[in-house]
Structure 1
């Protein structure tokens, strides 16, 4: 009998497409090309599908978890949705803890996959509070925390899949890799792989400017810095304002036909800044999720 794929088998191998209008004078006139990696094409809609599948599969392989167990994770949205999907496929109970100021689309997506959702008051600490609660629930024996912030299987997903895809899709011509920074799994994993192929490749991280709140882009307090994060692996940091990211999200959809999320647009802002400083470069940025995940926020109105 023919062996067919499961939904989990369709994670990865996402398209890489060229921007045509937004680069402007920083693009073709300078010999530059800006390419978008469309991670919203993953089955649960974001780049986090890769890490979620990796964390669960690797923990299974080590004998740390088995189908029927309860998994717990603090999330700002995309990782939670991806874990809820993977848990549904592989037979786990999933408890997700999320600040209550994040979009209703994210909440609905998690519960659609059968996850139990616990909302925490954003005014009491947002993601930091959610992470502390996840650790307490694990200590109380209510399940196992996968901990995307400290779990080496998060960047491993990008060392094994995203990085090799970008190298192959650009025929090894990539010169700059640009990514929003949240848990930092994507930028750490992809950066490590690409540098193993060409040490001259520049890794650029998008972080929020002071006072900006951009879903998926964080600058963590020292006590909550992700353990997987190695600052020296990022060559350049670009501070992105909330207004810049939201404006670029609208432009990306209206001018390029790419309906991406706000953090994706923040990464593009960083990519255009890089393009304005260099010549004859192949610049890749991650479109980490889809814009329809943010419709209720009014950003696209």
Structure 2
């Protein structure tokens, strides 16, 4: 009998496309190519599909979890949606903890996959509070926390998939990799793989400017710094203002036909700044999710 794919088999192998209009003078005139990796094309809609699948699969392989178990995770949205999808595929109960100031589309997506959603007051500490609650629930025996912030399988997913895809898709011509920084799994994993192929590739992280709140772009307090993060593996940082990221998200959709989220636009801003400083470069940035996840926020109005 012919073997068909499952939805999980469609994770990865996402398109890499060239921007045509937004780069302007920092693009072709300087010999630069700016490329967008369309991670919103993953089945649950974000780059986090890769990490979620890897964290559950590898935990199963190590005998740490088995179908029927309850999994717990604190999330700002994308990882939670991806985990809810993967849990549905592989037969787990999923409990997700999320601050209550994040978009209703994210909440609805999680519950659509059958996850239980616990909303925490953003006024009590946002993601930091959600992470503490997840840890306390695990200590009480209510389930297993996968912990995307400390889980090396988060990084491994990008060493094994995203990084090799970018190397192949650019025929090894990539010179700069730009990514928003949240859990830092993407930038750590992709950066590690690319550097293993060419140590001169520059790894650039997008972080929030003072006072900015951009879903998917974080600068964590020291006590909550992701354990998977190694600062020495990022060559430079670009500080992104919230208003600039929101405006660029609108431009990305209207001028390039790429309907991406706010952190994706932040990564593009960082990529354009890099392009203004270099010549004859191949610059790749991650479009980490889809813009329809933010419609209720009014950003695209």
Normalised by the shorter chain, which TM-score bucket? over 0.9
TM-score (norm. length: structure 2): 1.00
Q: Which residue of 1 aligns with 2:287?
A: 287
Shift of 1:186: 0.1
The DSSP-based 3-state class of the residue aligned with 1:141 is coil
Instruction: Determine the C-alpha separation between the residues in 2 that align with 1:53 and 1:118.
Output: 22
Instruction: Determine the C-alpha separation between the residues in 2 that align with 1:2 and 1:66.
Output: 28
Listed one character per residue, the Cα deviations across residues 152-187 of structure 1 (whole Å, up to 9, x for unaligned) are: 000100000000000000000000000000000000
Instruction: Determine the C-alpha separation between the residues in 1 that align with 2:263 and 2:153.
Output: 22
Matches within 5 A, 1:206-225: 206-225=206-225
Find out whether 1:102 has 2:107 as its counterpart: no
Q: Which residue of 1 aligns with 2:186?
A: 186
Matches within 5 A, 1:25-174: 25-174=25-174
Instruction: Determine the C-alpha separation between the residues in 2 that align with 1:271 and 1:106.
Output: 27
Structure 1 runs, 4 residues or longer, greater than 4 Å off: none
Find out whether 1:235 has 2:235 as its counterpart: yes
The DSSP-based 3-state class of the residue aligned with 1:51 is helix
Instruction: Determine the C-alpha separation between the residues in 2 that align with 1:193 and 1:282.
Output: 17
Q: Which residue of 1 aligns with 2:226?
A: 226
Instruction: Determine the C-alpha separation between the residues in 2 that align with 1:202 and 1:170.
Output: 15
Find out whether 1:175 has 2:205 as its counterpart: no
Could you list the runs of 5+ residues in structure 1 that have no partner in the other structure?
none
Instruction: Determine the C-alpha separation between the residues in 2 that align with 1:145 and 1:178.
Output: 29
Listed one character per residue, the Cα deviations across residues 23-59 of structure 1 (whole Å, up to 9, x for unaligned) are: 0000000000000000000000000000000000000
Instruction: Determine the C-alpha separation between the residues in 2 that align with 1:244 and 1:225.
Output: 25
Instruction: Determine the C-alpha separation between the residues in 2 that align with 1:195 and 1:256.
Output: 30
Instruction: Determine the C-alpha separation between the residues in 1 that align with 2:63 and 2:215.
Output: 34
